[in-house]
Structure 1
Amino acid sequence: MSRPYQHAGRGATSSRGQKSPEQVGPRGRNDMKDSMRLLWIDLLKILAIFGVILLHASAPFLVPFEDSGQWWTGNVYDSLSRWSVPLFIMASGALVLPGADKVVLRDFLLVRMRHILIPFLAWSFIYFIYSIHVKGQDHGLLDFFPMVIAGPIYYHLWFIYMLITLYLFAPVISALLNLAPRKFAWYLVGIWLCWASLLPAVHELLNLETYFVSDLNEYSALKLCGYFFLGYMLKENVIHSKGGLVILLLLFLIGGAATMTGTYMLSSRAGEFVHFFYDYFSITVMTMTLALFLFLKSVFHTPKEEAEDDNGRKHMNSRKLLRKISMSVFGIYLVHALILELLRDGRLGFTINHGSAFGIEIPIAAGIPLFAASIFVVSLGLILIFSHIPVIRKIIT
């Protein structure tokens, strides 16, 4: 999950005419005031983090593959939440790329790395200690940094590596996209679509070998960067007609149905779970992601209010509660994997999992979303508490 922020339209500039890092960057003050009032972004981020949690809550039912009610329940929930990570990446592209080339390069990188690396390292260490003392893994303290460099210490932290990579390239990508004619930007998106999505589909579904199919996995920043571009390209698009919105909803449902059906067919044929349609750049997931992005952008693209604050910026229609939750999304992403296991294993004094809550049996179809909602609420509560403790807030949120 990402931490997308809107760059401010006004404010102080550097001596070279470039925007200060407070205007364009994670947790920059002016940046935060404006971006957190973008209703569609707040809702998008909140929905996306819940989608990530739902995805992780339903995943245990998919492997091993079996044609059963439980497997199909997990498949339905997981298929309908595969858009969550790409949606975060699109939001980052929409909010970061328009102004990344207008900021002093050093400031752009320092601000972003400071607000990503510190929480990332802190939570990596927390998960490192958790894996030793709770899960019984045999590691010494000196193993921590080599393990962080080698790869994610916990499964969900892969996203931070990918996010850091995209941010490192963001100023260059921003300059190219802002200077190049739109047709060349769409040409770049088209190349990515063919390379990351269409050619793998030909290879997998038609069993046709092609040299150009990438062997990079679905967590690669290079393969996922197309969503970064698309967020930038579609940031101004708004669908006004009801018919257009209905079409977007239908495309989302078709993409979800194709994802779950295609996954079943490939898995049934192979006799084991095949995740091809689950990949973040599969055609079906891409269809869901783009449809949902445009739908949220169109429905909740609210007009600015007339009142202006002291700095002359018009406020956007986003409620205070939504802003608080939206500002907690990055922290929720970092902590949710730990909360998932603590609730599931009863380490908080009570147990909530896929099939029960506080000792009460629950059908799996209701248990999975209830489990995901519980993880979300506990994670949010913890991050909100941390946000009121200055030293902890800077380190882990």
Structure 2
Amino acid sequence: MEIKKRYLELDFIKGISIIAVILIHTTAILISQETDEFSQITGIIINQISRFCVPAFLFVAGILAYNSLLKISFISFMKKRIVEIIIPFIFWSTIGLLVWGDISIRNVIITFIFGFGPFHQLYYIPALFQMYLISPFRSKILKSNFSIIVLFILTILLFSFYQISSLNLFGLKESSTINLVFLTAFFSWIFYFSLGLAVGKNYQKVRDVISGFSFRKIIIFLIISISLVLLDSYYNWSFTGEIKSSLLSYFRPVVLIYSISVILFLLKLGILKNQKIIISINDKSFGIYLTHIFVLNIFQLVTNGIFFRNLLGTIFSSLIILVLSFYLCLLLEKLPFRSITLGRSMIKKKVLKEGGI
């Protein structure tokens, strides 16, 4: 079904998700430092409940990609994606390497192929581009609702393998190669994008069903899934005796279930309430995603990291990073090379934006 108007709940999801992205990266700094127990535990909690962000972005990307491909050819669709996401990806990856990176053949490959360079958040761009490449096969992916169920089960099994290897169980060992592949390979993320494609196929019907859902039941589902994520994090911490980034990552079965609950909750909340501030943040969400690590690095350099030594300072820093990134995007939009730095700023606003962020 072609979406002919702009559904603000999708903007709401992306606005909330970009805030969660920043919280993940700021709390990661807090967690990695020696700080008081309260700050560290609370930092882990905030980090974990923010883990819905990338799945939510890909879910919305699937909805909007489905809608776009109803109106334009796949070739035209991919040309726009190259302009909108690949060119700014190359620009910011280059900046990261030149300013903060070690320019070696290995690092150049990891940065430009996997997106995991000094601006490590950019891994999302190669992953998203892979989702777009498989979008022509949406008719096969969406052949029946059973296809989504199969993808869900396969993703659960895949994430179980990742978590078992991170815990070094049954002879499986964690490796940096596995971590890198999982971050950028399409099979780690395809469920969320495919779910978005499926919802996009009948978005108005799905929207009507969600509108009729009991908000109380959605909140109960959300609370249960949050509890599972936090219990899983605590178990991983207790089992290994250390805080391992791989065991706080997206690739755990409980995070998959939690992400679905948050997407459902945000859809419902976005339908019920018009959150203008969050939606305005969404208007710059792609630019904020591209630039916030650059801003974060500068902020740490200027302040000598003093604000990341406790929880209050980290929360304050998160707000500062969000505001500075937002205004940096406003500044970049006024410059003649804005299509290189932000990609989408050259594209006129439409009734419905096309893309994941």
What TM-score, normalized by structure 2, do the two folds share? 0.79
Q: Say whether the 8 Å CA contact 1:65–1:267 is kept in structure 2.
A: no
Residue 294 of structure 2 is matched in structure 1 by 338
What are the Cα deviations for residues 185-222 of structure 1, in whole angstroms up to 9, with x where unaligned? 23432443343235556777895579xxx955344321
Matched, 1:197 2:159: yes
Matched, 1:377 2:340: no
Cα gap change, 1:143/1:270 in structure 2, threshold over 3 Å: closer, same or farther?
A: closer
Larger Cα-atom Rg: 1
Matched, 1:222 2:187: yes
Q: Say whether the 8 Å CA contact 2:226–2:258 is kept in structure 1.
A: yes
Residue 59 of structure 1 is matched in structure 2 by 28
Residue 307 of structure 1 is matched in structure 2 by none
Cα gap change, 1:198/1:97 in structure 2, threshold over 3 Å: closer, same or farther?
A: farther
Structure 2 alignment gaps of length 5 or more: 343-357
Residue 395 of structure 1 is matched in structure 2 by 340
Looking at structure 2, the residues matched to 250 and 264 of structure 1 have their Cα atoms a distance apart, in angstroms, of 21
1:267-306 matches, within 5 Å, as: 267-275=237-245, 278-301=248-271
After TM superposition, give the deviation of residue 278 of structure 1 in Å: 2.7
Q: Say whether the 8 Å CA contact 1:346–1:352 is kept in structure 2.
A: no
Residue 198 of structure 2 is matched in structure 1 by 233
Secondary structure in 2 matching 1:294: helix
Looking at structure 1, the residues matched to 280 and 36 of structure 2 have their Cα atoms a distance apart, in angstroms, of 42
Matched, 1:86 2:55: yes
Matched, 1:169 2:134: yes
Residue 122 of structure 2 is matched in structure 1 by 157
Cα gap change, 1:124/1:277 in structure 2, threshold over 3 Å: closer, same or farther?
A: closer
Structure 1 alignment gaps of length 5 or more: 1-5, 10-33, 304-316, 356-363
How many residues in Structure 1 have an aligned counterpart in Structure 2?
328
After TM superposition, give the deviation of residue 332 of structure 1 in Å: 0.4
Structure 1 letter corresponding to 2:198: M
Residue 358 of structure 1 is matched in structure 2 by none
Q: Say whether the 8 Å CA contact 2:68–2:77 is kept in structure 1.
A: no
Residue 181 of structure 1 is matched in structure 2 by 144
Cα gap change, 1:160/1:59 in structure 2, threshold over 3 Å: closer, same or farther?
A: same
Secondary structure in 2 matching 1:372: helix
1:357-368 matches, within 5 Å, as: 364-368=310-314
Residue 345 of structure 2 is matched in structure 1 by none
Q: 259, 262, 272: which one pairs with 2:232?
A: 262
After TM superposition, give the deviation of residue 49 of structure 1 in Å: 0.5
Residue 313 of structure 1 is matched in structure 2 by none
Structure 2 letter corresponding to 1:239: I
Superposed CA RMSD? 3.4
Looking at structure 2, the residues matched to 67 and 346 of structure 1 have their Cα atoms a distance apart, in angstroms, of 23
- Using CA pairs under 8 Å that are at least 6 residues apart, name the structure with larger relative contact order, 1 or 2: 2
Looking at structure 1, the residues matched to 73 and 153 of structure 2 have their Cα atoms a distance apart, in angstroms, of 30
Looking at structure 1, the residues matched to 237 and 278 of structure 2 have their Cα atoms a distance apart, in angstroms, of 40
After TM superposition, give the deviation of residue 38 of structure 1 in Å: 2.0
Q: Say whether the 8 Å CA contact 2:126–2:184 is kept in structure 1.
A: no
Q: Say whether the 8 Å CA contact 1:263–1:276 is kept in structure 2.
A: no
Q: 117, 120, 133: which one pairs with 2:89?
A: 120
Q: Bigger shift: 62-71 or 372-381?
A: 62-71
Cα gap change, 1:281/1:344 in structure 2, threshold over 3 Å: closer, same or farther?
A: same
Residue 69 of structure 2 is matched in structure 1 by 100
Secondary structure in 2 matching 1:227: helix
Cα gap change, 1:267/1:110 in structure 2, threshold over 3 Å: closer, same or farther?
A: same
Q: Say whether the 8 Å CA contact 2:114–2:184 is kept in structure 1.
A: no
Q: Among all aligned residue pairs of Structure 1 and Structure 2, give the percentage whose two residues are the same amino acid.
A: 22
Structure 1 letter corresponding to 2:127: M
What TM-score, normalized by structure 1, do the two folds share? 0.71
Q: Say whether the 8 Å CA contact 1:94–1:233 is kept in structure 2.
A: yes
After TM superposition, give the deviation of residue 127 of structure 1 in Å: 1.3
Q: Say whether the 8 Å CA contact 1:97–1:171 is kept in structure 2.
A: no
